[in-house]
Structures are given as structure tokens and as C-alpha cells.
Chain A
């Protein structure tokens, strides 16, 4: 066997091992209910913002504390605590992707990138948003 072939094999083995370890480190998508079953484990939840309850954020008192409520399609609800500033368009986001840990009844997000909203520019391609805009004014 040629040494290039050996090196390629080794490199591919390393690459596969890296990918497997990457996969092993992944979290899972959960519903709010199933996240409750896994307290303290980092999970990803896709949920809707519960617009009926207020978003709590008072930057004068504490700029590093946001709390809001979410519901998911299965009807689960939870309070979310995020220890950073309020993302600008949080109240407009129809869907949020959250990464964090369930802690009792509270979903705690301890990293800045634990909340993912869509880039605001991208809402515009969403026909529902435009429709809303047209009928609202």
C-alpha cells in the first residue's frame, strides 16, 4: 500500500472519529413536557412566545435578566429566564429556538446564543408577516 493511501485512511479515520464525537456531544430537541423529564440536561426547545403573559425586562434594575413565557405545540408551558439583554425583536418572534436547562419549572438559558430568533430581515419573506402588515394598518 502506498503511503498516500495510508495517510488518507488514517485521516479519514480521524475525521470519522471527530464526527462521531461531535454527534455524541449533541443535545436533543425536546418538547417542554419532555424537557421537564430531563432536569439539568441541556436541551433544545422550539416554542412559541406566550403573548398573553408579559416579557419581564427592566434594564434599569437589571440589564441581565429577561424572563418570558413559552408554549409549544403540545400545549406545554414554561417560564424562561435568560441572563442577558433582551433580544431586540423578541416580542415579535413567532417562533424561538431555545437552548438551556430545565430547572424546576423554569427554563434557564445561561449562554448568550441560547436564544435564536430569525434575523429580522428574514421575516419579510414570510408571507404571513406581510399579510398581517397589510391588514393591520
Chain B
């Protein structure tokens, strides 16, 4: 059948380039492989030249694929499955890229692009390591290229073709029986980007995270190159900037995800030990372990074997994480993971084709990797750095095994799941690791390589230790950490960890002065450690003291759900214009408004007034409704920043405010006595009785409460009851309003009027009173976490610059030597 109005050419071009990139990366891999194993310099040069050309073609092809996708998305060619599924006409242009990497195939493309960029840098800079390193890189490029291939071989689907047409994917759908299917309304627009993802973080977080993911291959490739060329210890200095770069970017990407989750998603926190979060944390931990052993080897000659192991394992973990998050295995345990897209075998193979060769090579050459027989002295820096790396590694093993439960379940009969408190299962372990890491971070910098004398250590670390002890005692006493939810043991651990974290900050800050004499250029590591310590402090504070403010203590109709009394009531309902009691605050829902018709964002204006009058502020939490198809809603929180804490609030439910334009009705006050009748537009209200100290509100002995029992009889002779309460609690008047929503009535017991009368406020709205249900948290000291993160990143960059300079000096001096050495080597090999 000839279909009308399709644009098939871009798809053909795009797919051609996807196939070309696969072929080119394969040729490049072979060529670089041959170059690595070449016997003469001339042979090596020829193969390398071919490798470079093939790699260059690959880079061009990959970018051509990217531009073709951008073209079809921005041209709104909805006949393409990719465009139809991930974009829509209403999508603002700045989310165009976001919708590309939202997709499974698009995020693989992003990975490929970064691999190309890193590869291009390596071709220019890697020098004699180019051939083996690029063999690994091009092999990875080849593997990732298969992910966007989308061809069928023996009935198996290899990769997802981003240029597949919707009618090719949904072959069964009846509308494709028509040649003019593109004129149908459902083909006029796409599904759009999920409302949840329409956020500037979605534009920036994935590229950074994927740069981190992609860059982990470089230290891995150097390690493989070292084993392969049997030049075991020669690459560690020049590859150190790469390890730093990778740890820096991956860490930044992870923390950006945390910031995104905290800032604009209603996950109510920045870290939840979700499997997808863990999957990127684990390689980072191992990378950091490898980074430390690599530094140790460069300085002392110890820990080379460990360096190999860590740098290989971190990349295998990256691949394994990719498998976990993209195969759909985590479907029942993670909120973020992709659903199964039929690529499980391919993703599994992706792990194995790296895992087996890498570890086999490592094991085969293990004995030949040089090591120093004499043990590290237990007062030496290298010894404790190694211990720290070991702890990081074991932590990562704990996290990854716990995260892999769904994979373990595949092989088991009795399926296991996490307990109903999964975060505590991690926290109770990680808290002790935080103690150990904090202490090691604090002390190890003061140790010298090889051996440290006791006097030196005491002299250097004495003052920081005292300062840290004093600070942490102050924090423990006045910081208000009283997190006894999990018993005293856990609370003690929190205090210990707090000390360790403070110690890490103080000691490293002191080291910049005393150890490095303020020589900032070389102090990157100490700066990063200060940042790390601050992060720990921020994490401990904000998690241990996170508080739900929106306890529904005096909301409306308290007794509706009798079972919920023992449970936390985290949401509070606010009626429009009704000032409601929320613990330390009065809150009023002022207005709900649609601001941007394109994104369908709806802002809710909520006023917070501190009861002691010290502060009033407005928050505008909003939510986004996706315009198309499934009515998705995504709540975006709003925060008020105190310098030492955030008040964090988001909408959990609301009615449609569009129906209530101009509802400005206020409570009208009626002085009534028992038996009196008040008329309203649709009937009458009778005050039946006033109950003194009603039992169900559990007031204390010193408090007084009155509950008015009202009967509402509407014109259609329906009866309703309402029981607003007025109470005095510790000299403060409190109101518990009641509503009869069927009649659009709200009641407030304003107090006692003279002459046995009570003051009853009645509010009758034209339509149902708009409301929002809202959740409010207080996160103390959250800023310390973000500041710490930024300082850590700065520290990474500082040491990256410093180490790069060192490596460059090394390359220059080695370069002249290497040429002679190498030609001698070839001569010998040839003979």
C-alpha cells in the first residue's frame, strides 16, 4: 500500500548512518587491535592510520544519526515511532533534546556520542597508548551501536531502531489499514514528554550522568592496555587525570539526580536507595577506591594489583548497572527503571563480552603485575588509603548484592523482597561505614608515605582533633539530633558519624594549611575531602531531623478514618481562604491558578504564617498535567529557604480550580443560641446543642473545648450534621472547622458571644470550595549537603588540573626516551 504524506527519506538516511557507525566501529576495532599487536613500527603506523580513519567515519556517522533524530523530532514527523512516542507539538523547544534521551534508544545514542568525544580526545592525547586504549573504546562503540540498530537476526531483535515507523511497530493497529492514516487525529500529535520530566534538570542531568558513565571506560581501557602490552605500571600516572575526571563527572551526575529528586520531584528526599540510584552509586564507589589505590601506586609502588582490580570492576559494574536498569528486571522494585523492551539477552551479553575477557586477562597476568614484597608499615599513608579503598569496595558489594535481589530471585524458588522499611536496611549498615570513612578521611592525610612517627602525627593532628571533638559535642548537645525512631543504638551511631564527618572536615581544612602550607594548587584532594565531610554532615542532619510539618492534627473531620490514628498523617487539607492550623504554622490556601497554558502548569498559592509571628512566607507548589493521552500529573514542590533549613511543600491532591473563579466568600458570623435557625440559600441550619469538652478530641486537662452540633436540612429534605469545634489550648484559641460539601457549606465555631450565644461562622460558596491537600516537610541543614557536593566537585577539578600537569611533564620526559626504547623493542621482536 502507498501511504500518503509520509517522510521516509530522513529515516532511511538515519538508519543508514546507524548501520555505518556499526560497521565503522568494527573496522576501527580490528585496525586498532592489529596496531596493538603489530610487530614493526611501520605496521603499527599503518594499522593505526586505518583505525583513525574508521573511527573518524564512526564519529561522523554517530553525529549524523543524532542530527537526523533532531530533524525528525523538530519537524514533528509523527509517522516515526520515536517522534510519536516521545515528543508532541506542545513541547517547548528546550525540551527537544530531553525527549531524545528520555527514550531507551536515545540514551544509548547519548552514550555513543560521549564515547566518540572521549575517543577523539584519546586519539589526540593518548600517544603510545592510543592503539590498545582505542581498541577497547571502539569495541564499546561497536557494542553500543548494536543497541540502536534495530534489525532482526534469526527472529531475535537486535537493538531498537530509532527510525522505525509507528506503523511498522504497531503492525496490528487498524488505523494503518488506511493509506491516509496520517490524517487521523491521533497521528497529528505525539504522546509528549512525561510531565514529570519537563524540567530543566532533565535537560542537564542525563548528559552529565552519561558523560560520567561513558568516561568510566577510559581508566578501564588503560588498565586493559597495561595488562595487554605488559607495561604494567606505566600508564597509572598519565591515566590518573582520567580516573579523576570520571569520578568527578559521575559523582556530579549522581548528585544532580539527587538534587533533581529533591528539588522538583515529589519523592520527598534526595536519596531513597532506589535500585537505579544504587546502580550508579556502586561504580562510583569502586572508581573512588581505584582512584585512591592508583594514587598509592604512583607514590609508593604498592597496590597496583588492587588498582587493576578496581578499575576493571568499576566498568563491569557500569555495564551491570545498565543491564539492571534497562532490562526491566527491576520493574517491581524501582520507580525509575525502564520496562522490559525485549533486549535482555543483548544487554546481558553486553556485560559478558567485557566481563570475561577483562577478568581472564587480569587473572592470567596477575602474577606478573609487579608488587612490593615488603609490607606497608601500619603508620604509613598507603596502608590506610588501601584500607579505605577496601571499605569503599565492600560497601559497594553490600549495596549491589542488596540491589540485585530481583536478579537473585530469577534463580530462586522462594522470591524475596525488601522489608517494608527498605531504606533503613541500608542506613543501618551505611551509618557505620560513614563513621569509618569519616575517620579515615580525617586522619590519613596527616600520615606520610612509607612511615609516620608518632610525634609528628600527634603534633599535626592534635589541634584539629580537639576542635572536631568540641564541635561535635556542641552539635550533639545543641544540634537537636533526637532521632530515636530506630532505638538508642542507631542514634548513638548517628552521633558517632556526625563526629567522624566533622572530624573529616576540620582535619582536611587544617591539612591544607599545616600539611600543604596553604599551597592550594596541590590541595585538590583535601578540598574534595572537606566537601565529602560536609556532605556527610548534611546527609546526617537532614535525614536524622527531617520532619513532617503537615500533620493533620486539626484539619477537617479528624475522626473520619479511625484506623489511621496510630499512623503518620502526612497530608493536610486546606480549603481555599480558610486559615488552618498546622503545628508551628498557620497555613492558608489563597489561590490556584493556571499560568502556562502550554505546559498546563497549575500553581497553588499557599501562605504560611509562623505562629510566633516571626516569619510569613508564600509557597507556590505546582503541578503539571500532561496534555496528551494518559492524564499524567506531576507535582513540583516549592521550598522556602531558611539559612539552616528548607520548608518543602508539594501538592498531593486538589480539585479543579478553573470551576471556582471568583470565589471570594468569607465566613459570615452568626450569633446563635441553642435551637436557633440560620437560613442559607438551599435550606436551614439548626444549632442542636453545644458539647463541652467532647471526648473524641482528646484534650488535656488544662484545655477547654466546645463542639457545636449542627443539623443542616436542605430544601430537598436531606439531613446532614456538622460539628465545628472551638477550643482553648494553652491560652490559644483553635478552630476545627467542619464542612457539608454536598451543600457547599463550611462552619467555624468562632467563639462565645454574649448572652448564652455562640458565634458561628458560616460560609456558603457558589460552587464546591476549592481545596488542596498538601504535604510539608522540614529539611534542616540541607544546604550543607549541596555546598559539600560543590566543594567536592571543585576539589576533584583542582586535583584533575594538578595531576594533568604532572602527567604532561612526565609524558614530555618519557616521550623522548620512549621513541628509542620502542624501536629497540621492535628490533628485538623482529629478530
Which residues in A have some Cβ–Cβ distance to B below 8 Å? 2-4, 7-8, 11-12, 14-15, 18-19, 22-23, 25-29, 42, 44, 46, 57, 59-65, 81, 83-86, 88-89, 92, 95, 97, 99-101, 108, 110-114, 116-127, 129-131, 133-135, 137
Contacts and interface: CB of A to CB of B under 8 A. Distances in A.
Tell me whether chain B's interface is mostly helix, strand or loop, or mixed: mixed
Contact of A63 (B104, B429, B653, B739): B653
A27 B419 contact: yes
A46 B86 CA distance: 28
B564 interface: yes
A8 B303 CA distance: 14
Nearest to B424: A25
Nearest to B423: A113
B289 to A, nearest CB: 13
A29 B652 contact: no
B50 to A, nearest CB: 39
Contact of A113 (B191, B272, B338): B272
Contacts of A42: 419-420
B560 interface: yes
B649 to A, nearest CB: 13
A130 B615 CA distance: 49
B120 interface: no
Given A15-B397, A44-B417, A64-B564, A131 B173 contact: yes
A83 to B, nearest CB: 4
Nearest to A128: B339
A131 B556 contact: no
Contact of B653 (A26, A85, A125): A85
A42 B417 CA distance: 10
A29 B560 contact: no
Contact of B420 (A14, A65, A110): A110
Tell me whether chain A's interface is mostly helix, strand or loop, or mixed: mixed
Interface string B398-430: 100110010001000011111111110100010
A62 B560 contact: yes
Size band of the B side of the interface?
Answer: 35 or more
Given A26-B417, A64-B561, A119-B335, 20 more contacts: A25-B425, A26-B419, A29-B415, A60-B575, A60-B741, A61-B556, A63-B552, A63-B571, A64-B570, A83-B563, A85-B570, A85-B653, A88-B633, A89-B630, A95-B332, A99-B418, A124-B86, A127-B169, A130-B85, A133-B629
25 contacts: A4-B375, A11-B390, A11-B394, A15-B397, A22-B429, A26-B418, A28-B414, A42-B420, A59-B571, A59-B771, A60-B739, A62-B573, A63-B773, A85-B653, A86-B653, A88-B633, A89-B630, A99-B419, A111-B421, A119-B336, A121-B197, A123-B630, A124-B85, A127-B170, A134-B186
Given A3-B375, A120-B632, A29 B335 contact: no
Given A18-B398, A99-B417, A60 B196 contact: no
B750 interface: no
Contact of B415 (A14, A28, A122, A130): A28
A75 to B, nearest CB: 19
A89 B626 CA distance: 12
Interface string B150-189: 0000000000000000100110111100000000011000
Given A26-B417, A61-B560, A100-B420, A85 B336 contact: no
Nearest to B336: A119
Nearest to A126: B339
Contacts of A44: 417-418
Residue among A4, A61, A63, A84 with the highest chain B CB neighbour number at 10 A: A63
Given A25-B425, A59-B653, A11 B567 contact: no
B569 interface: yes
Contact of B335 (A63, A81, A117): A117
A18 to B, nearest CB: 5
B339 to A, nearest CB: 5
Nearest to B552: A64
Residue among A59, A60, A116, A137 with the highest chain B CB neighbour number at 10 A: A60
B685 interface: no
